[in-house]
Amino acid sequence: MDQSKLARLIESRAFRHILFWVCWVLGFTFIKSFGQPLNTYGGWLAYYMLTLPIFVTHTYLVAYILIPYLLNRKFFPLFIVMFILFFYGYSVLELLLSNGFIYKWAPTGTEIKGDYLEPGNVVRSGVGNLYIVLVFLAAKTVRNWFLSDHRQKELQRAELQIQMNDAVSRVQPSMLLFAIDHIEELVDRRSPDVTRAIALTSELLSDVMIFHEKQKHLFSEEIELVKKLISLVSVFRGSRPEVEFFISGDPGKIELPSMILFSLMDLIFRKYNGEHPHPEINIEVSGFANMMTIQILQNHSKKQDDTLEQCMQALKQLEYCFHNRVTIAVDIHDYGCSVVIRNPEQTGVNTLHTYQDAVGAP
């Protein structure tokens, strides 16, 4: 049995209950018969097997009826009355079955008394029978505590992961390292663009931080951040990448995770770093369909084909980083690929046709 099947079996409620009662029957059979002749084990095993329906019914009525529907809802008088009735009634049933039938033929070594149904004997027997109810409730409480503690830790871990991802998106470490590397190259070449590159990097990081501080993140503002990123890459490359925006509807109404477009463009620029010519990139934003499409048009050099494969793998990581809050579909074609990003909760039509006016990146 593989681990997944074993895990599902352990999570099965029926399996857990069956395991509990099997352990109870075998455990108390051993306790009652310890040090006795071998046939006594069979006698007590028969006793616990035959009385098992009585104990199971009594335990489940208390655990799943009286406690949740009466005790937890503070119907204390009714709970006490019903608890005593179940306590006394099931004790009488157990005594009738054991003394009137089981002890007569099963070798348990128990002496049968004629007054076993007297109130005192019923109460004493009921106190012993109540032990299994308490053990079951204790096991149920421990399991609920464990699950609650596990859920709390999972929530804390998820919250920590969200905070870490938020911190990463605020600082954009990949973009920052990318900028630092290129600034160092400009310094080594004694390029006159060093000062401008540093200023643009500082400005972009500042704008990203300010963007995150806002209560409402407009997608139209994120587009402006992407345009500044393009300007920074233009300084590093010495020529502006061919990036165009096609906007339809109101991009400010698009409901996509914050920084999804910025992270994707940062990924593309870093993956295609050093490619000449740089692939042409068309960004189509639809306020009607609540989605965006990024087309990467390349010249089919082998190096660019390898880079495209790396981009496909990186896109899977991007989708994971945004906690499945977006769906990312990739269509690879002869001239490159198209990446479609949409909110999975939205069911709008894919609007790829936009207005005739194309707004180029500055």
Output helix, strand, coil percentages for the chain, rounded to the nearest 5. Answer: 65, 10, 25
User: Residue 8's pLDDT is what?
Assistant: 67
Give the Cα-Cα-Cα angle 353, 357, 358 (nearest 5 degrees).
85
Is it the case that residue 287 has pLDDT exceeding 90? no
Give the Cα separation of 258 and 206 in Å (integer).
16
Residue at 174: amino acid letter? S
Residues 226-251 have pLDDT tens digits of 999 999 999 988 888 888 888 887 76
Q: Please state which of the ranges 68-72, 149-153, 157-161, 325-329 shows the lowest mean pLDDT.
A: 157-161
* Cis status of the peptide bond prior to 277, with omega within 30 of 0: yes
Q: Please state which of the ranges 148-162, 210-224, 255-269, 293-307 shows the lowest mean pLDDT.
A: 293-307
Give the Cα separation of 155 and 159 in Å (integer).
6
Give the confidence band of 349 by pLDDT, cuts at 50, 70, 90: very low
User: Residue 7's pLDDT is what?
Assistant: 59
Average pLDDT over residues 247-256: 76
Beta bridge partners of 281: 243, 296
Q: Would you say 108 and 47 are in contact if contact means Cβ atoms under 8 Å apart? A: yes
The mean predicted confidence, pLDDT, of the chain is: 80
User: Residue 166's pLDDT is what?
Assistant: 62
- Is the domain spanning 172-360 CATH 1.10.760? The answer is no
For residue 42, give the 3-state DSSP assignment: helix
Q: Please state which of the ranges 69-83, 203-217, 291-305 shows the lowest mean pLDDT.
A: 291-305
What HEC string does 164-233 produce? Answer: HHHHHHHHCHHHHHHHHHHHHHHHHCCCCCHHHHHHHHHHHHHHHHHHHHCCCCCHHHHHHHHHHHHHHH
Q: Would you say 305 and 260 are in contact if contact means Cβ atoms under 8 Å apart? A: no
Q: Would you say 288 and 348 are in contact if contact means Cβ atoms under 8 Å apart? A: yes
Q: Minimal CA–CA distance to 83: which of 99, 66, 104? A: 66
Is it the case that residue 183 has pLDDT exceeding 70? yes
Q: Would you say 106 and 32 are in contact if contact means Cβ atoms under 8 Å apart? A: no
Residues 187-238 have pLDDT tens digits of 988 888 899 999 998 888 888 888 877 777 788 888 889 999 999 999 988 8
Give the Cα separation of 281 and 243 in Å (integer).
5
Beta bridge partners of 75: none
Q: Would you say 177 and 208 are in contact if contact means Cβ atoms under 8 Å apart? A: no
Q: How many residues does the chain have?
A: 362
Provide the residue ranges of all domains of the chain, joining segments of one domain with +: 3-162, 172-360
First to last CA, the chain: 61
